[in-house]
Amino acid sequence: MSDAQSKIDETVKNNDVVLFMKGTKSMPQCGFSSRVAGVLNYMEIDFQDVNVLDDADIRQGIKDYSDWPTIPQLYVKGEFVGGCDIVTEMTLSGELDEMLKAKGVAFDADKADEIRKANA
């Protein structure tokens, strides 16, 4: 396992929620990363952001780690959830809420409902 892979593995295993993204949760640098970070921030989910633009090895390494070609990538309790489209679909269907509840991750359910109402 490369240094980047080890660092990614450690980050995923040591944080309940991790978003590998372009930019940071307070300053996303692409629309897809902004959408996922926005959902997590709005739902008041405490998450670790990893800016893949800071390290080319991490940027490629996360794609290899998950066998998923795009960024952002969301992990919850060590499990790869998906990218922007999947997280969006899961948020709108309520599936993300169920996953977070099942894994014991705190979030604001009322805010999740607001997202669904706004997109109905």
Query: Residue 102 has which token pair?
Result: 């099942």
Distances (CA, A) of 26 to 36, 50, 56, 61: 12, 12, 21, 23
Nearest Cα to Cα of residue 93 among 77, 106, 82, 105: 82
Q: Is 84 annotated as belonging to a binding site?
A: no
Known binding positions? 30
Binding-site residues for [2Fe-2S] cluster, please?
30
